Every structure is written in structure tokens, then in C-alpha cells.
Structure 1
């Protein structure tokens, strides 16, 4: 008897990772891929693009589509072109996928979670509910009642309480995601982790530091454009322009004597070297483009909404 006949079939398919802002979607994608393909910060709307994370596991390959947080257009994001583009990107990500993961925060379900669930329900794809950040739940006895309440009258293929940050509960989650995918050979080689270029990832790593190091408002007025990306022997030479919306924002990004810009560049360079596995020489500049985040043409020029 050929022992291969008893092996489970290989599964492969696309999985939209959806949820409101700041629930840990990108952290989950990185944990499942086993490498950093999506930038993360503690600020909502860190993810602005649809990004593919490729998770190759025993028995299958999950093509994880990380998305911007679905949100109601209010407050900081009210009616801006950026807000509209991110919502369109998130909604478009559920088209033509085989399954979806809805990520929510343990102990919290609000109207934006309902919005995300309804988008997935309308898409008609099987939905695995991921209840993230269970490690932060102070009263663990509230978890089971919360899971029961959230699952009531909602059709989930499976429900998984996890901690993406600590990588707890992921093995069972992977098994249930794979169960929703069709039998198919892998699409990508085992060592591939994303379909995005190193150039794109370099820009995202600079923007990650802007999100982490600047104040509450300013990160949303910044974007990054890679002007130069060249190989020089074993060295990568990268030139990054940080765009802001007003002249008065430049000195905030640059900092006293250029200290903040150097810190942003240093941290981003370290992340690039870790991800690319080679030495990086990074130069950064700060320039002004008035009102770019509410200008559809500017957003298109910077690559937003082009997925």
C-alpha cells in the first residue's frame, strides 16, 4: 500500500483578514507568516494598503490578505479621501477570497465590529472568528460569556480566542482556516512571504516609525515615497522622502538638530536589515505636499488604492 494515499489533501486559498481598526490584524498576519510583512503600531489605521502575507504550513498554504481597518467615517477619518480609499480597499479585499478571518478584541464588540461582520456576511464566504488579545483580559471569567454573546445569531465556521502578539492559540486556528480552503497545490514557493517588493516594504518600515514616534495627529498627515532603491554590491542604498501636509509639520518630523529624523531612520534601517538580510544605507528627507491625504490624485500618485 502506498502510504501517501492516507495523507490529508493539500489545501491552498486566499483568506481576507478583516476587522475594525487596531484589533491586531497585522500582528496576526505576521504571526501566521512567521515574518514581518505588515507594519504594526498601537495607532488605528497603521495599515493603509491591502497586503498579501504567504503562510506555508504543513498541509497547506494560506494567502492572507491583510486589510485596513473597516471604520465609520467620523472623527479624524471623517469624509477624507484617505478614509474613503482605505474603506474601499478593505471592502474590495473580500471579493474573490475563499474564506475570511474576522478579528475582534476580547471583551469588546462595537458597531464597527458589526460593520465588519456584515461586510463578510454579505460576501457569502465562510468566516472564522478570531478573538484577539485574550492575554489583556483582566477578568478571564468574562471570556466564555463574551464568546457566547458574539456567536449568538451569527454564523461562524469556527471561533478562536488567541493572543497574536504572544502567538498563543494559533495551531488550532490554522487547522480551522485550512479546513475552509479548497484542495489545491501551493501558489508560491515555500520561502516566499509576500507578493510585495522590497521597495514597497522599505517605505512601509519608515512609515511604521512615523506612526510609532510622532504624536497623536501627525502620523496621519505623513506618507513615505521611496525615491531610490539600488543595489551596491552587498549593500542596499535607499532614499526615502517623508511627505507632510503643511510646512509647520516639517520641523516636528525632523526634531531638534535632526534628532527625531535620525531616530526614525535608524530604527527603520535596523528593521530593513533584519527583513532583507543585508546591510542598508538609508537616507531620509522631509518635504511638503499641501493636503495630500484629502486629494484623490495625490493618493493615487503615492500608490494608495491601486491594489
Structure 2
């Protein structure tokens, strides 16, 4: 029987549910999520193999319009990472949020103008629509913006119609041998996953208090007997951010560490000893060289 295999880029503006969709498709967490925009900062591949078909989904940072408060090296990196994911893919899943259409949605659509791969429009969070009667006329309206290969209303959070979206993607994969072993689900290392899970817990617990000038670097990742020892360094840019992260008598950093450890243990399927440290590194988010040393590297 002929095998099929190909790449599908998941794109859209920040906070439309790209990572939630990929995790739903894979049946487990590969990309971190939070209610805060721009939680995803890297391309992350999620690999789904079903029988003779293998699709490599590429989760991307939210494409955003550069502005005064979004004009740092890290913002440029995220836009470049998202744009690069459109190269040489076999299919694009463009996600929007219900019947909302913003300037950033329009900017994403314009970036897709030169993409020759079929573009499937996924209208997400339809479960939140107060008036379901709005959906059909909206789908007809938004369909006029581009000749989409398909338009699929979904709820990534609840799984509604996600199987139909997968079918649309899978039907467009070319004949090819599989690029990855059938049991592999991501291209990212366990070390990378550990850092991302720590960052997720920080974002979820301190999203409204801590700006985006925060990142996580794994300094130690080793197995000793039945325990994986992980030391993670949390970098911030100002003393005030460090104080917020640590919290009163260290309670906040303990809470972040506890939540992150439990998720990492699920990923590793084993016991984890997690140590967190906070350090000030001024200006790292607007320093291309510093970003590259911290793993923000398009290559």
C-alpha cells in the first residue's frame, strides 16, 4: 500500500488556538499553551502517523504586526519563524477566532498570498458563539477573501470537527516514505520540552504581572537511577520581575516548580527532581546574539 507523508504549517495571529489544535490532533501536549498571546516562540513539529499516512504539523508563533511595544529582536524572531514555516509545506492550516477578523488576521492572509500550497481555513472556538446563526453567513463572507481549499469550523479545545480538519489535511499529502518513525510525536528534545513546560507555568501563573522579557534555559538534565535531575535558569530583565517570580517567601517560585515538575514527570513517565533559579540578564530580548545563545535560532 502506498505511503503518504508531508508537512502542514499551522499559522494565524497570536492566541487563536494553534498550539491547542496541534495538541488535540496528537492526543498529548507537545506545544505549551496559555491565555496570553505569543506563548509559542519556536516552530514545534508534531508528528501524527495513522497507517500509511504521516503528517508533520508545524506549530508556529503567532504572526503579529510590529509596533512600538512589539519591536524587539524576539518579536522579529517569532515573525521570521512563523514565515519560514510556510516554505516547502504541502498544506497550510490558517486559524482564525470565530467571526472576528482583525488587522492581524488580514496581515496573515496577505503573507499567504504567495503560498502555492493549499490553504485550509479553520474557524476555531465556534463553541463560544452566542448566536450559532451567525456562523453560516460568516463562513460565506470569509470564504470570499481567498480561494481556500476548504473551510472547517472547529473547536480545538473540545475536539469538535477536528477529525474532519485532519481529513482535509491528510487528503492533500503527497506520496512519500515516512520521514519519522511511526511512534515519534515531535522533533523536539526532552530538554526543550522541560524548558517550555517551566515557561508555560510561569506564563499561566504570572501572565498579567510578568512581561514577555522572560525565558527559561536548562542548565542540567541528567538521569541518576530512577530520577531525572533538571536545573532550569529563568532569565528576566529587571529586579522587579525577579521579585515577582520568586514571590513572598519564595511561594510563587515553589508553586511554579511544583506544577512544572508534575507535567515534566508525565512527559518523561518517571520521577523528576526540578530546581529553579532566577537571574537578571538585562536586554536579552532585544539582543540577537543573546537570543541565539538561548536557543532562539532559525537554523
Instruction: Map 1:1-307; keep pairs closer than 5 Å.
Output: 9-74=2-67, 76-77=69-70, 79-216=71-208, 218-307=210-299
Q: Secondary structure at the match of 2:229?
A: strand
Please say if residues 36 and 207 of structure 2, whose CA atoms lie closer than 8 Å, have aligned partners that are also in contact. Answer: no
Across the aligned residues of Structure 1 and Structure 2, the Cα RMSD in angstroms comes to: 1.3
Q: Secondary structure at the match of 2:92?
A: strand
Shift of 1:34: 1.3
Shift of 1:57: 2.4
**Alpha-carbon distance in 1 for matches of 2:111, 2:117:** 10
**Alpha-carbon distance in 2 for matches of 1:219, 1:158:** 37
**Alpha-carbon distance in 2 for matches of 1:269, 1:153:** 45
**Alpha-carbon distance in 1 for matches of 2:204, 2:80:** 25
Shift of 1:10: 3.1
TM-score, normalised via structure 1 length: 0.94
Shift of 1:120: 2.1
Q: Secondary structure at the match of 1:175?
A: helix
Please say if residues 33 and 56 of structure 1, whose CA atoms lie closer than 8 Å, have aligned partners that are also in contact. Answer: no
Please say which of residues 292-301 and 13-22 is displaced more in the overlay. 292-301
Q: Secondary structure at the match of 1:272?
A: helix
**Alpha-carbon distance in 1 for matches of 2:281, 2:291:** 11
Shift of 1:113: 1.1
Deviations 1:226-269 (A, max 9, x none): 00000112211000000000122111000001000000000001
TM-score, normalised via structure 2 length: 0.97
Shift of 1:177: 0.4
Q: Secondary structure at the match of 1:172?
A: helix
Q: Where does the alignment leave 5 or more consecutive residues of structure 1 unmatched?
A: none
**Alpha-carbon distance in 2 for matches of 1:58, 1:100:** 22
Shift of 1:107: 1.1
Q: Secondary structure at the match of 2:122?
A: strand
**Alpha-carbon distance in 1 for matches of 2:211, 2:270:** 28
Please say if residues 246 and 291 of structure 1, whose CA atoms lie closer than 8 Å, have aligned partners that are also in contact. Answer: no
Change (3 A) 1:202 1:219: farther
Please say which of residues 116-125 and 138-147 is displaced more in the overlay. 116-125
Paired positions, count: 299
Q: Where does the alignment leave 5 or more consecutive residues of structure 2 unmatched?
A: none
**Alpha-carbon distance in 1 for matches of 2:110, 2:185:** 30
Q: Secondary structure at the match of 1:123?
A: coil
